């Protein structure tokens, strides 16, 4: 109406001019809208990630310049922190695309490393965590030129990782793999002091990780267009960041609350979005089972990942049943008096209560303490020195050892073939396979399958993680937060397994030099030199595999030599700085040398948490009777052995 009145008051010439201006305005508006539309086109995940790679390389370059120019330490710290921030945005990508570079050259612990699969090479420490020590501790062990070299090496590692990423071009399901694995990395490594150990900026850095995860998912067109759960996911990401921002003090951070109320729901939402898009799983044998939506569910781990012969999966249950009989049967020993269960006793979480058990001939002691077999399937190295890489080899080693079982394969097979019961069990376990007849491989395979059934993931702590708020008292909750924070225990005993298998890939077992003493009141390091006997590398002198601590209440005495009788003694050993209290010097100690300065209350709270890891479901597992043998003397053998 207003425009009509305006037009009626104008001359024809002015009317034409007015209309022409209107046409131009409409055209201009359309043009602006088109440019606006082009400007707000969402970037793809690939574009977002590459932008962060460029930013990361640029910030590392700036750090290099500040060091080269001898700028004040505050400037170096600023650009180091900025580089860490830019790295955390794409940590999920770097760790997924190039785990080797991530571990050895980008963000691994600042320690010398050696893995048997990499041959004889010992890797010197490199990457962020090494560089951090020069800017935040006053470490002057390297010259300016050497620090510049380390920064250049870090930058080149990022450049090579970027090239690899751009050549891979991940599929949508792989981006989901990255993000889900990163959530596991956050709760088991990032907020537990595994990196950023000096500045203790772990909690703050996690906000950048959440930003990066959100950007990666929003960069997937199908997620933006087809997922009704995306807004819920974004809201939870925002809430998670707020919680991190408001509670960023490393030592007081309530890790359990954060895990249960933010990370666990995020993991479930990722699974839901993945289902909404009907994305299939990546055809890779990962440790994580991406079909499981519960971060702490029974099916979270992919059982086949931890088995060497993953194709040999027929008749697993009857094989395990056969293995159970063999495990408790002293028939497998040279004198028919000793069984696997002689040392690995169910009532003590498949360990024993002796510092070092008897040798086969009962005239001396074995070299090391008996480790628990619970959750043994979730390992990649066996024995304290890690000399065996598969469970069947571990069983074979014990059976052959003259000071343990003193068996010969042919003798074992000869005795088993005297039993109609065992013939039936073997036939059932290896039906249709070459091992229908009794063989030594069948013995090893059956025992290993039984040992894989010895899982313990139903403790009070697990029940708390899965929704039972009454399962833990406040002391145990505080204890976990100290365990994974101030005390740094969680940087070696990783959630959720609490052994040394590093999440989220679970393919790398930690070996630590902690300087275990010969006894709680002895200031001498135990004489057992550990893994160096296997690798012949000096960095492994006094190095031992990080064991699992579930059911620690039942597995006393502790350490590879059984030196400590109580949990309190173990806690105090770590509180004092491990072997640093010993008279002799310990090279390559991986444990902090200084005291943790734990108060008596904090020590008690850690103990309360450790006690919450007990799970008694394994105790009544022994067979009621052993298979009959066509030999009246052998039929008198004792279930579980005599000694």
pLDDT at 35 (0 to 100): 37
Residues 416 and 297 both lie in one domain: no
Q: Is residue 249 assigned to a domain?
A: yes
The domain total for the chain is 4
Residues 492 and 609 both lie in one domain: yes
Q: Is residue 561 assigned to a domain?
A: yes
Query: How many other C-beta atoms are found inside a 10 Å radius of the C-beta of residue 24?
Result: 10
Structural domain including 335 reads 315-455
- Concatenated DSSP letters for 361-384? TSSSB-SSPPPP-TTTTS-SSBST
* Euclidean distance between CA atoms 340 and 326, whole angstroms: 8
| 103-108 contact pairs (CB < 8 A, 24+) | 103/508, 105/153, 105/154, 105/157, 106/154, 106/157, 106/158, 106/161, 107/195
Residues 492 and 412 both lie in one domain: no
Which range has the worst mean pLDDT, 37-41, 83-87, 287-291, 605-609? 37-41
The verdict on whether omega for the bond into residue 496 sits within 30 degrees of 0, i.e. cis, is: yes
pLDDT digit string, tens, across residues 161-196: 999 999 988 999 999 999 999 999 999 999 998 999
> Which residue is it, tokens 């959440």?
210
Average confidence score pLDDT of the chain: 91
Of 170, 195, 225, the residue that ends a domain is 170
pLDDT digit string, tens, across residues 498-540: 999 999 999 999 999 999 999 988 999 999 999 999 999 999 9
Taking a C-beta distance cutoff of 8 angstroms, is the pair 384, 509 a contact?
no
* Euclidean distance between CA atoms 419 and 447, whole angstroms: 18
404: domain CATH number is 1.10.760.10
What mean pLDDT do residues 634-643 have?
A: 95
Helices and strands per DSSP (H, E), number in the chain = 25, 2
Residues 188 and 289 both lie in one domain: yes
């Amino acid at each position: 109406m207003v425009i009509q009145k305006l037009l009626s008051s104008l001359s024809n010439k002015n009317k034409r001019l007015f209309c022409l201006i209107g046409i131009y305005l409409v055209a201009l508006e359309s043009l602006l809208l088109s440019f606006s539309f082009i400007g707000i086109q969402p970037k793809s995940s690939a574009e977002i990630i590459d932008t962060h790679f460029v930013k990361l390389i640029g910030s590392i370059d700036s750090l290099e310049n500040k060091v080269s120019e001898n700028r004040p330490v505050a400037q170096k710290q600023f650009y180091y922190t900025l580089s860490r921030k830019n790295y955390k945005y794409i940590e999920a990508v770097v760790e997924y695309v190039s785990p080797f570079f991530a571990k050895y050259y980008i963000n691994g612990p600042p320690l010398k490393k050696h893995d048997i699969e990499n041959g004889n090479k010992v890797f010197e420490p490199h990457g962020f965590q090494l560089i951090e020590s020069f800017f935040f501790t006053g470490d002057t062990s390297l010259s300016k030129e050497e620090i510049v070299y380390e920064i250049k090496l870090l930058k080149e590692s990022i450049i090579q990782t970027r090239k690899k990423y751009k050549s891979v071009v991940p599929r949508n399901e792989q981006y989901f793999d990255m993000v889900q694995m990163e959530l596991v990395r956050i709760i088991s490594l990032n907020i537990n002091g595994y990196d950023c150990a000096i500045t203790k900026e772990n909690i703050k850095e996690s906000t950048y990780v959440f930003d990066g995860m959100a950007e990666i998912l929003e960069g997937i067109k199908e997620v933006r267009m087809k997922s009704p759960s995306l807004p819920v996911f974004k809201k939870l990401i925002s809430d998670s960041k707020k919680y991190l921002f408001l509670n960023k003090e490393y030592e007081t951070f309530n890790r359990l609350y954060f895990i249960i109320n933010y990370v666990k729901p995020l993991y479930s939402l990722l699974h839901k979005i993945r289902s909404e898009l009907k994305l299939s799983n990546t055809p890779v044998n990962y440790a994580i089972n991406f079909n499981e939506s519960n971060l702490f569910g029974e099916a979270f781990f992919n059982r086949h990942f931890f088995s060497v012969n993953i194709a040999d999966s027929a008749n697993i249950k009857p094989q395990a049943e056969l293995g159970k009989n063999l495990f408790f049967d002293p028939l497998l020993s040279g004198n028919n008096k000793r069984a696997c269960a002689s040392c690995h006793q169910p009532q003590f979480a498949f360990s024993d209560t002796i510092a070092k058990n008897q040798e086969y001939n009962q005239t001396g002691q074995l070299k090391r303490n008996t480790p628990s077999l619970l959750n043994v399937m979730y390992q990649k190295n066996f024995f304290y020195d890690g000399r065996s890489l598969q469970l069947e080899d571990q069983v074979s080693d014990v059976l052959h050892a003259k000071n343990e079982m003193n068996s010969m394969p042919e003798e074992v097979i000869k005795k088993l073939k005297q039993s109609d019961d065992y013939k039936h069990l073997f036939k059932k376990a290896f039906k249709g396979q070459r091992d229908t007849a009794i063989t030594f491989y069948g013995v090893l395979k059956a025992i290993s399958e039984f040992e894989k059934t010895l899982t313990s993931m139903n403790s009070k702590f697990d029940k708390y993680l899965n929704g039972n708020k009454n399962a833990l008292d406040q002391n145990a909750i505080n204890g976990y937060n100290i365990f994974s924070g101030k005390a740094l225990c969680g940087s070696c005993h990783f959630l959720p397994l609490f052994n040394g298998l590093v999440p989220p890939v679970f393919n790398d077992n930690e070996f630590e030099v902690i300087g275990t003493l010969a006894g709680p009141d002895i200031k001498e390091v135990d004489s057992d030199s550990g893994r160096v006997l296997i690798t012949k590398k000096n960095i492994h002198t006094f190095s031992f595999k990080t064991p699992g601590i579930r059911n620690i209440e039942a597995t006393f005495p502790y350490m590879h030599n059984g030196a400590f009788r109580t949990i309190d003694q173990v806690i105090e050993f770590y509180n004092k700085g491990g072997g640093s209290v010993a008279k002799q010097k310990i090279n390559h100690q991986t444990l902090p040398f200084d005291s943790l300065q734990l108060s008596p209350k904090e020590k008690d709270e850690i103990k309360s948490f450790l006690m919450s890891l007990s799970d008694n479901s394994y105790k009544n597992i022994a067979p009621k009777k052993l298979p009959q043998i066509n030999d009246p003397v052998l039929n008198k053998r004792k279930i579980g052995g005599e000694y």
